Structures are given as C-alpha cells and as structure tokens.
Structure 1
Amino acid sequence: MTINTKTLAAIDIGTNAIRLFISNVEEYPTETLFKKIAFLRVPIRLGEDVFTTGEIGQQKRKRLCETMQGFSYIMSAFNVESYKAYATCAMREARNGKSVAEQIQKECDLNIEIISGTKEAETIFAGGMNEVVDDDKTYLYVDVGGGSTEVIVYSKSVKVEACSFPLGTVRMLNDAVDKEEMKHFKKWLKNITEKYTPDAIIGSGGNINKIHKLLNKKERERITYQELDILYEYMKSFNLEERERIMKLNTYRADVIIPAMKIFLTVGKICKINEIIVPKLGLSDGIIRLLYEEEKRGRV
C-alpha cells in the first residue's frame, strides 16, 4: 500500500535537444519508486545558432517556444503537480538566453532556470548515480553534451574536483572549439590522474547511452576502452548517410556520436582508464529526484 504518490516533470533544455520527462513517484513503507510514464525528445539544436552567431536565432526561438507550449499541454494532460525546467550550455552562452527564457515565461507560463555546468553535472549525479558505484573507489563522471563537457571527480562517494569545459559535440561539428580550451582540458585531466588515479569513467549523455546499445551491452555491463576505440574507427569510416542506413542511427544522432566518442577516448587515454560505466541516467532523472526531495522536505 502506497503512502503517497506524486506526478512530477522535468524539462531539460539542452544544446542538442529539448526533453520532457514525466514520472510517478510512489512512496511505500520500505522504499520509494520512480516510474517513468512519459518521455519526449525534440532535436532543436540551439547550439547551431549559439556557437556560430552567439545567440538563438528567430527560427529556433520560435521552435523552442512552440515546443515548450506543447510540453505545458502534455504536463497538464498528465496532471503534473510540480516541475522544474533547466537550461544548459546553449542558453547559458547565448547573448539572448535570458530574454528567451523571459519570453517562454510570458507566453507559456513556464519558468526556466539557466544553470551552471557544475550544477548540471551535480544534478545528473543526484539522479541515482550512487546506486551504481563503489564507496571505496574513485570515478571520473563525464557528461558529454552538445555544448560542453562536465567532469566531476568522486573519491569515496565525495565530490573532490569539478570543471566544465566548452567542448561539446555540436560545438565540435561547427568547428567552434578553441584550441586553448582543448589544451586546458587535457592538462586538467593529466593533473587529476596524477592526483587521484581514477578507477573508471562514469559516462553520461545520449551518445554514450547509444554506444552502449550499439555494442550490445547488457544493463550495468561496462564498455572497455578497446571496444570504444574499435567502434570509433569503424563508424568514422562511414559518411553521415551510411551511419544512418547501416548503423540504423537517427539523423540527430548520426553526426554528434563521432565527436562524443572522441571526447570519451581522449579522457580514457589521458587518464589511463580502461572501463566506462553507463548507468543511463540523465539530467531529467536528477531533476525528478531533486523535486521529490524538495516536496518531501515541505511535508516535514
């Protein structure tokens, strides 16, 4: 018998896509269950505008507003009781990011919080990541997004280092990566390796989830560096159309998956890490957990 049930929603406004995740949270005497009841992904790619012009263009701005209005209707249909909408790298860097958020607030009555890269990574980790790691080991949590890569070092379940780098898949495809930033990324990883000697990478993001599936991995089964490297060389030999046809990839995934693999391989090589854990948890999962914790504190 449940003690309490809540319907919560998370909106993730990313560089590559906008996502709506609706979950039923069911409290029982001995456990709390998070059950997904709806998920929708719209690949708008705000980063294509932001990383070339510095702002969100009129067309993508219109699509974003229409998408958010649609999400509002869907949340109403599911009787969502509470939600959070987080915007990440593209909105964070766009000159007009704040005004776009204000427009959505006015037109859709949805409040958007533009969050830092560090908060983004911490929110994702809060989504149940502690359930897939060992307390006595050191992990490099690596979230590869469209506009940025967030890296957090967890040693014995405690966050000891964190950094956000403007190195993302959409940014790389648009040749908008600063060479000095890549040097800084590699230097930071070397320092982290010398200081902590990480045991494994915890991979986050749609691309590493897809890679895990392409390698026919079972749930919780790890990806080795060699497996990733072989797949990277194989997929790189195909053009975009061939990746869609032969690898059965969606158009929105077929291009960004290559730079994502390159980032994970770079981390693995520099940090001398052979294994990647793929828990398949994202920002939306973390938002739902945070909403639940806030709601629970409000009852105390």
Structure 2
Amino acid sequence: MRLGVLDVGSNTVHLLVVDARRGGHPTPMSSTKASLRLAEAIDTSGKLTRRGADKLIGTIDEFAKIATSSGCSELMAFATSAVRDAKNSEDVLSRVKSDTGVDLRVLTGVDESRLTFLAVRRWYGWSAGRIINIDIGGGSLELSSGVDEEPDVAMSLPLGAGRLTREWLPDDPPGRRRVAMLRDWLANELSEAGAAITEAGSPDLAVATSKTFRSLARLTGAAPSGAGPRVKRTLTAAGLRQLIAFISRMTASDRAELEGVSADRAPQIVAGALVAEASMKALGIESVDICPWALREGLILRKLDSEADGTALVGGETASRRMSVRNAGR
C-alpha cells in the first residue's frame, strides 16, 4: 500500500510518501517539507497564535493534496511537542479537521519514544541485543532502552534543541558563559533519567536518531546523506566535545555554511549538541550509531502490525485514517 505520513513537528512539517507492506522494507517515494517553526508561534499565554495556526492549516491542506495526487490510500497525520504543549491544541486540531478534512493526532512524548524505539529495533534486528536510543527533537528529548520491540523504559523530557535555544541561548553566538551554564543545568536535569535508563540494563548497542544527531555526526566526519542510509555513521563523545568548542563560537549564519547543517537548523545546533553531549554522559555512552529510521518509520511499522493483528496503533485507538472524501476529490 502507499501511505502518506504527515509529521507536524516543532520546526518543520514533513510529508513522507512510502510504499509499505507487512514484512517488507518501507520504500520512500517522495519527501516534502515546510519550515513553520510552530514552537516560535506560541504566545505568552502558551497558545499557538492565529497566524501560526493559519500557516499550519494551509500547509496541511497543501500536503494532503500532495498525498492524494501521489496515490496514497491513507494519510497518517500526527503532531508532536509544539502542538502537544499548546494550551489551545484542541481548538487547533478542530480547525485542522474542519478546514482540511485531516484528522491530526497528537502523540504523547512516551509514544514518540516507544515508536522511535520500534523503528530502531527493526533496523538493527534482534542480534543487536539491548539497545539504548536517544532522539533529540525541537521541543523534546526521548530516551529508551530495551531488548524487545517494546522498550523496557521509554521517556520524554522537555529538552529539545529549539526549546533550549530560545530559553538559554538567545545571543548569536551564544557566549561561553551561557554554554557553560546550560551544560551544568543539563547534567542536573538528566541525572535521574539517565539512572532510570541505565538501571534497565547495560546496552549492547547505543543508538541515536533525529536530524540533530545526523547533522552532528556529519560535522564530525560521518558520511554525507548522499552515501545512502546503510553506510555506518557514528558520533563519539570526544568528537562532540571538540565540535561544541568550535560551533559555539560561530554565528548561526556561519554555522549554516557548514556541510550537513541547514539554515533552519543552524540556530539550534549548539543547543542540540549540548543535549547530545549531556545525554551520552548521563547514560555513560562514549559513542552512538546513527540510525536512519526514527518516529515516522515507527508509525508505519506499527500501522502494518496493527492491520495484521487488529490492535490499536497508539494511545488506545488507531491514529491512521483513510484519505477523506473531501481530500480525495481535490
């Protein structure tokens, strides 16, 4: 079947069109992105602004049409931290439904962690043993550990790269004192979570997912994306420390000139690197393998599994919907 996966994140809205079947490798057919920076459209009362909601609705409407024209039989639309944290999220979701016909579902942080872990497990297989996974988003950090497809421990913390950039590193470049302060604060924030993850068992494999980790690995010498998803890419703690010393002295515009860093990600890559460093330290990890699969693939895999055995996708009910008549007719 051909599926559309619509991912509404803190920074971008991403439509991934894949051909998928149970027992097979999901094959990407097209990828479309729009940078909305929804987390920056939250006002002082904690609500997504009218302008931010309008941009989101317009983008979802456009991407739903792309999914239909691409031959998708279903569109799985989900939102993460930015929409989840907005105090008017229910109103926004209602507007999305009424204006576009798309049923946008909000994932909990724990569901994000669990589904990402599923994707990682399927990528590396059973021979990997116990896996610890770290995923850094714009608004949150997900940590998980397990030996099965369902992790023993899965958690989500409000330590995303975009969130910490806004709260801790407003200057450009950020300055040594602020970087040092954020480093110390992260160490304290992650101590309890790190202990909970490590108590579940020593990992046989440490993995990292997300665009942040892919960019950090590229900046420390990993192969470019053009080399393909099956090339092994790693990020070491030593390389990360050297990288932080380098990029924290640069402006965002200068960081955007570095290979592997987009203009959208450049402002928050320093905070992302600090979260990565603190997470690896809290977990006692000296290096991570970069997995090309993450949350979107986890949702696809869970959907295929749920269709086979009749179980729910996430949160007690299916998060997948048939393409609506309204969208299909456009």
* TM tier relative to shorter chain: 0.7 to 0.9
CA contact (8 A) 2:219 2:260 kept: no
Aligned to 1:94: 86
Aligned to 1:124: 116
Give 1:57-72 correspondences, 5 Å limit: 57-72=49-64
CA apart distance, 1:33: 3.2
- TM-aligned CA distance change 1:194 to 1:119, over 3 Å: closer
Q: Distance in 1 between matches of 2:215 and 2:298?
A: 20
Aligned to 1:106: 98
Is residue 15 of structure 2 the alignment partner of residue 20 of structure 1? Answer: yes
Aligned to 1:80: 72
CA contact (8 A) 1:25 1:33 kept: yes
Q: Distance in 1 between matches of 2:121 and 2:33?
A: 22
- TM-aligned CA distance change 1:206 to 1:275, over 3 Å: same
Q: Distance in 1 between matches of 2:291 and 2:128?
A: 18
Is residue 206 of structure 2 the alignment partner of residue 214 of structure 1? Answer: no
Give 1:46-65 correspondences, 5 Å limit: 46-50=38-42, 52-65=44-57
Residue type of the alignment partner of 1:277? D
CA apart distance, 1:23: 0.3
Q: Which runs of 5+ in 1 are unaligned?
A: 1-5
Give 1:27-46 correspondences, 5 Å limit: 32-46=24-38
Residue type of the alignment partner of 1:47? A
- TM (norm. structure 1) is 0.87
Residue type of the alignment partner of 2:61? Q
Aligned to 2:209: 204
Residue type of the alignment partner of 1:289? L
Q: Moved runs in structure 1, 4+ residues, more than 6 A?
A: 176-182
CA apart distance, 1:202: 1.5
CA contact (8 A) 2:161 2:268 kept: yes
CA contact (8 A) 2:10 2:139 kept: yes
Q: Distance in 2 between matches of 1:226 and 1:211?
A: 12
CA contact (8 A) 1:169 1:260 kept: yes
Q: Distance in 2 between matches of 1:115 and 1:39?
A: 21
CA apart distance, 1:162: 1.9
Aligned to 2:175: none
CA contact (8 A) 1:127 1:281 kept: yes
Residue type of the alignment partner of 2:7? D
CA apart distance, 1:40: 1.2
CA apart distance, 1:46: 1.2
Once structures 1 and 2 are overlaid, which stretch shifts more, 193-202 or 260-269? 193-202
- TM-aligned CA distance change 1:7 to 1:191, over 3 Å: closer
- TM (norm. structure 2) is 0.79
More strand by share: 1
- TM-aligned CA distance change 1:134 to 1:240, over 3 Å: same
**What's the CA shift string for 1:251-299, capped at 9, x where partnerless?**
211012111111111022222211111112122212222232334446x
Q: Distance in 2 between matches of 1:170 and 1:289?
A: 28
Alignment length (residue pairs)? 290
Residue type of the alignment partner of 2:306? E
CA contact (8 A) 1:136 1:156 kept: no
Residue type of the alignment partner of 1:14? G
- TM-aligned CA distance change 1:242 to 1:180, over 3 Å: closer
Over the aligned positions, Cα root-mean-square deviation in angstroms equals 2.6
CA contact (8 A) 2:39 2:139 kept: yes
